[in-house]
């Protein structure tokens, strides 16, 4: 039975990234209704540059994981990838908890973040299955690029 772990992981990471984009867009939607979305007291871009870099890294790393998952079936990569997915689930859970402590609680964002957390847990599950599958039922890298 073929399990298609890589295809499932790539699909789930893609859905996760779309949800992450919508999380940002949802936060900006009030602008289209003439409402203010400012939550920071920063006066210039230099003050928020570290946050912008962290957001870039948080979005770019799953893109790199999609590429890595597409290009390799290496056992070491599968182990690294599983650890990476666990880290992202922990970060997502931390984000949900942090947003539950901010007043007012924006419930539609909490619901979206819980959906993203569930998707992340699904990525954990499939990544764990891929890591544990020692039968190498997928193509080897040398066959994939022949």
Residue where the block lists tokens 């544990």? 132
Q: What is the pTM of this model?
A: 0.84
Q: pLDDT band at residue 47, thresholds of 50, 70 and 90?
A: confident
Residue 58: partners with Cβ closer than 8 Å, 6 or more residues away: 20, 91
Q: pLDDT band at residue 16, thresholds of 50, 70 and 90?
A: very high
Q: By mean pLDDT, which of 46-50, 56-60, 111-115, 117-121 is the weakest?
A: 46-50
CA–CA separation, 98 and 93 (whole Å):
9
Q: How many angstroms separate the Cα of 2 from the Cα of each of 83, 95, 103, 136, 138? A: 24, 36, 48, 10, 8
């Amino acid at each position: 039975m073929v399990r298609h772990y890589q295809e499932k992981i790539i699909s789930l990471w893609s859905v996760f990234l779309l949800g992450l984009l919508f999380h940002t867009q949802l936060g900006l939607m009030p602008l289209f209704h003439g409402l203010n979305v400012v939550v920071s007291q920063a006066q210039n871009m230099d003050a928020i540059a570290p946050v912008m870099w962290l957001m870039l890294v948080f979005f770019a790393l799953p893109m790199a994981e999609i590429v890595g998952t597409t290009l390799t079936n290496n056992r070491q990569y599968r182990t690294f990838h599983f650890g990476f997915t666990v880290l992202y689930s922990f970060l997502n859970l931390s984000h949900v908890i942090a947003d539950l402590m901010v007043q007012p609680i924006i419930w539609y964002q909490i619901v979206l973040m819980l959906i993203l957390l569930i998707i992340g847990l699904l990525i954990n599950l499939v990544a764990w299955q891929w890591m544990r599958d020692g039968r190498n039922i997928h193509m080897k890298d040398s066959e994939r690029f022949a």
